[in-house]
Amino acid sequence: MMARRFTSKLIVSALLKRLATAGGTGAVLAHGDDGAGGIVAICAEKGRISSLIELAYDSDERMFWRPCTSQAIENNDKFQIYLAQRRKSDPDLWLVELDIPAAERFAADCIAET
């Protein structure tokens, strides 16, 4: 059975609401296409970026998060250039920041609950 695809706007909204409820902070850094824009999450803890993940779908249309760059996120200039290039090549892309301990796990748990 194939899973139902939710709109990007709904996924981002639910993710940020769950984040706030869990005591984290988050923000939409770039608003993508409401319906089917890709979603990239900048994972951080106390303002320090730990990773960059993107929402993907498996062959059964189930959502999962995967790392989306091997770029050194410690180099802010290169990181910002990478994000700008992603947005330039895909203007429908959402960029969302998630600031909470173990942000990658938090994002994965949120998707698993859908």
The pLDDT tens digits for 8-48 are 999 999 999 999 999 999 999 999 999 989 999 999 999 99
**What are the boundaries of each domain within the chain?**
8-112
Q: What's residue 91's pLDDT? A: 94
Q: Which CATH superfamily is domain 8-112 in?
A: Protein of unknown function (DUF1491) (3.40.1530.20)
Q: What's residue 4's pLDDT? A: 62
Note the pTM of the prediction, 2 decimals: 0.90
The pLDDT tens digits for 86-104 are 999 999 999 999 999 999 9
Q: What's residue 76's pLDDT? A: 83
Place of tokens 């706030």: 20
Confidence of residue 61 (pLDDT cuts 50, 70, 90): confident
